[in-house]
Structure 1
Amino acid sequence: MSSEQIMSTLPALDPAGEGYQEAFAAYLAHSDEAAVTRPRLDRIVASLPERLEFIDVGAGFGRTVRWFVDSFAHVVAIEPNLELHHRITLAAPDAEVLGGSILTAQPRLPADLVLCSHILYYVPRQDWQACLNRMASWLSEEGELVVLLQNPDSDLMRLLHRFTGRRFDLAELLPATRDSGWSVVLDTVPSILAAPDLDTALMIFRFFLSGITSVPTDERRPARTRAELTRQLDRHRLDDGGYRMSCTQDVLRLRRR
Structure 2
Amino acid sequence: MIAIRSSVAQLALLFLAAAGNGALFVIILRLRFVMEQHLKWLEQTYPAGHVSARGEQWYNRPFLVRSLFQFMLFLAAFLSLILLIATAWTHRGEVFGTMPQDPALTYYEEHAARLADGYETLSLETAHPALLKLIDEHFEGETLAILDVGAGTGRDASWFAAHGHRIVAVEPSEAMQTIGKHLHPSPDIEWRLDSLPELADTSASGETFDLIVLSAVWMHVKPDDRQQALETLVSLLKPGGRIYLTLRIGPSEPERGIYRVSEEALNTQLAELSLEAKKLDEQSDLLGRSNIHWVSIGICAATD
- TM (normalized to structure 2)? 0.54
> Are 2:168 and 1:42 aligned?
no
The alignment's C-alpha RMSD in Å is 3.2
Q: Distance in 2 between the 1:164 and 1:55 partners?
A: 23
Q: Distance in 1 between the 2:124 and 2:284 partners?
A: 9
Q: Check whether the contact 1:186–1:252 (CA below 8 A) recurs between aligned residues.
A: yes
Describe the shift of the 1:124–1:245 C-alpha distance in structure 2 as closer, same or farther (beyond 3 A): same
Identity %: 19
The within-5 A match list for 1:51-70 is: 51-70=143-162
Which one has a bigger Cα radius of gyration?
A: 2
Shift of 1:28: 6.8
Q: Deviations over 1:149-198 (max 9, x none)?
A: 212xxxxx24859x999422243021231242222223441214575xxx
> Are 2:201 and 1:105 aligned?
yes
Q: 1:146 aligns with which of 207, 226, 244?
A: 244
> Are 2:175 and 1:83 aligned?
yes
| Amino acid in structure 1 at the alignment position of 2:163 | S
Q: Distance in 2 between the 1:117 and 1:33 partners?
A: 13
Q: Check whether the contact 2:109–2:174 (CA below 8 A) recurs between aligned residues.
A: no
Q: Distance in 1 between the 2:115 and 2:258 partners?
A: 22
> Are 2:284 and 1:175 aligned?
no
**Where does residue 16 of structure 1 map in the other structure?**
109
Shift of 1:14: 4.2
* DSSP-derived class of the 1:128 partner: helix
Q: Distance in 2 between the 1:47 and 1:166 partners?
A: 32
| Amino acid in structure 1 at the alignment position of 2:137 | S
Shift of 1:115: 0.2
Q: Distance in 2 between the 1:80 and 1:164 partners?
A: 14
The answer for unaligned runs of 5 or more in structure 2 is: 3-103
- The aligned length equals 191
Q: 2:232 aligns with which of 131, 134, 146?
A: 134
Q: Distance in 2 between the 1:133 and 1:164 partners?
A: 21
If each structure's helix is expressed as a fraction of its own residues, which one has the higher value? 2
The answer for unaligned runs of 5 or more in structure 1 is: 6-11, 152-156, 196-243
